[in-house]
Amino acid sequence: MTQEHRPNAAELQVRVLGCSGSIAAGCRTTSFLVDADILVDAGTGVGDLTQEEIAGIDHIFLSHSHLDHVFAVGLLADTGLRLREAQKRPPVQVHALPQTLDALRQHIFNGVIWPDFTRIPSPSQPALAFGELAVGQRMEVAGRYIEVLPAAHTVPAVGFAITAAPHAPAWVYTGDTGPNPALWQRLTTLPVHTLVIETAFSDDEEALARISQHLCPTLLEAELRALGGDVNVLITHIKPGEVDAVMREIATHASARRVRALMAGEVLTITGSN
């Protein structure tokens, strides 16, 4: 999707396909569709897209290699292949850290778990093409501007800041992360419109949150103290059945910020103002 063909080139539309920490009825794992052609993480929420919508995805940005974030990459390649071939579309570009791409090659696209769609239908015209990312990298993708942000997780991981134009307000997604000073150091210099940040555990599981490098409400509050400006804060990656409990705990911490739980199916509009 080129900039001139986007409905409004001055804004981003972020469709929340999934934002749960695991699966259950009505709970889908992390995936966001930016405009119509950029997928950020590929959790089970991708399954709510039509075949035509899946075929319209040109780029996938992966935060890390855990299953709840990469589940649909292989299925997406298969579903969209025939339509993209008929339209003579290029391979879907999968952007991720080198370690994440290596994990996909070894553990998913290995011919045992799933066919290697980086080599089929043919090595010269595959369904998927892999491209390496690095923390701090900035790139333009069809009129959108994407920066790779640091994350602190049990495997190499990143987050993303995406804007509709250089220096425009950003949609920021932390990815899975525990306490992360490097992130806040960078965000103090960015015009953040909306922050999607995980809180995977309640406070009674703080020890588990620390071990697994996730956040709980107490750790979240400590992180948000470093965030300046008037920012929409949306909580993601809460486990099924725990949303109300986690959000009550978040509300008990003194904060004047607008904080709410992210919801699957909602569409976020990132414009020049909050």
Q: Which domains does the chain have, with CATH numbers?
A: 11-270 (3.60.15.10)
Q: What is the pLDDT of residues 37-93, one digit of tens each?
A: 999 999 999 999 999 999 999 999 999 999 999 999 999 999 999 999 999 999 999
pLDDT of residue 203: 96
Encoded amino acid at 167, one letter: H
- Residue 52 has a pLDDT of 97
Residue 134's pLDDT is 98
Q: Are 54 and 61 in contact (CB under 8 A)?
A: no
pLDDT value of position 256: 59
17-39 burial string, b = 16+ CB within 10 Å, else e? bbbbbbbeeebbbbbbbbbbbbb
Per-residue pLDDT band for 226 (boundaries 50, 70, 90) equals confident
Look at residue 106 and tell me whether its pLDDT is greater than 80. Answer: yes
Q: What is the 3-state composition of the chain as percent helix, strand, coil, each rounded to the nearest 5?
A: 30, 30, 45
Tell me the pLDDT band of 29, cut-offs 50, 70 and 90: very high
- The amino acid present at 104, given as its one-letter code, is L
Nearest to 249 by CA among 264, 238, 240: 238
Lowest mean pLDDT among 17-21, 170-174, 228-232: 228-232
pLDDT for 4: 45
Which of 75-89, 231-245, 247-261 has the least mean pLDDT? Answer: 247-261
Instruction: Give tens-digit pLDDT for 143-177.
Output: 999 999 999 999 999 999 999 999 999 999 999 99
Strands 258-261 and 232-236: parallel
pLDDT of residue 274: 52
pLDDT value for 236: 98
Residues whose CB is less than 8 angstroms from the CB of residue 25 and which lie 6 or more positions away in sequence, other chains included: none
Q: What confidence category does residue 7 fall into, taking pLDDT thresholds of 50, 70 and 90? A: low
Residues near 141 by beta carbon (within 8 Å), at least 6 away in sequence: 38, 59
What average pLDDT score do residues 190-196 get? 95
Higher pLDDT, 32 or 4: 32
Residue 273: pLDDT band (50, 70, 90) is: low
CA 263 – CA 236 distance, rounded (Å) = 8
DSSP 25: T
Residue type, 22: S
Instruction: Report whether 263 contacts 19 (CB < 8 A).
Output: yes
CA 202 to chain centre: 22
Segment among 16-30, 127-141, 214-228, 242-256 with least mean pLDDT: 242-256
Across the chain, what does the average pLDDT equal? 94
The four Cα atoms 261, 263, 176, 92 give a dihedral, to 10 degrees, of: -160
DSSP string, 103-148: HHHHHTSSSSSS--TTTSEETTEESEEEEE--TT-EEEETTEEEEE
CA–CA–CA angle 80, 270, 225 (5° rounding): 115
Q: If you average pLDDT over residues 28-33, what whole number do you get?
A: 98
Q: What percent of the chain has pLDDT over 90?
A: 89
Q: Cα–Cα distance between 241 and 217 in angstroms, integer?
A: 16
27: helix, strand or coil: strand
